[in-house]
Amino acid sequence: MTIDDLIENFELFDDWDDRYAYLMELGSKMPELPEAERIEANRVKGCQASVWLKESIQPGPPRRIDFLADSNSQIVKGLIAMLRLLYSGKTPEEILAVDAKSVFQQLGLDRHLSPTRSTGLNSMVKRIRTLATESNG
């Protein structure tokens, strides 16, 4: 599945309860983050829910970054699944070129997430961009 597929699928649902349920379903299908990776160093600051995010560098050329993550919130797991569609498997340069805010607007997340969830989502994006920048050096 791609982010374009997600956008297209979102348009099939008439209301936000269905869209949230779809996001939570996507989150439930993510690969598990090993318990050993649920450490403070992998914790995303700025999220109300507990969120852990771990990158894995795939040697190249070109080098690509995969992300595993987990949360104690089902909706946040869905948001993580969406972010994995946006960022996982891309080069650091591709990650830094992604316009996440535009995607959030296309999905309507900019209007339908609570302020605390929006802050958490932006914190996850910031962490992913920081990891991409650090691995680019």
Q: Which of 47, 107, 113, 132 is catalytic?
A: 47
Residue 137: pLDDT band (50, 70, 90) is low
Gap between the Cα atoms of 67 and 13, Å rounded: 28
Total domains in the chain come to 1
pTM of structure:
0.92
Tell me: the pLDDT tens digits for 16-43? Answer: 999 999 999 999 999 889 999 999 999 9
Gap between the Cα atoms of 27 and 51, Å rounded: 13
Q: Which of 90, 95, 101, 85 is nearest to 133 (CA)?
A: 95
Q: List the domain range (segments joined by +) for residue 128.
A: 3-135
Residue 79: give its domain's CATH number.
Answer: 3.90.1010.10
Phi, psi for residue 84 in degrees, rounded to 5: -65, -40
Gap between the Cα atoms of 43 and 60, Å rounded: 27
Q: Which of 116, 77, 117, 123 is nearest to 100 (CA)?
A: 123
Half-sphere exposure of 100 (CA within 13 A, CB side): 21
Dihedral angle, C-alpha 10, 13, 17, 18, nearest 10 °: -90
Q: Which of 28, 31, 51 is nearest to 39 (CA)?
A: 51
End-to-end CA distance of the chain: 30
Does residue 38 sit in helix, strand or coil?
Answer: coil
The reply to whether 88 belongs to the active site is: no
Tell me: the pLDDT tens digits for 82-124? Answer: 999 999 999 999 999 999 999 999 998 888 898 889 999 999 9
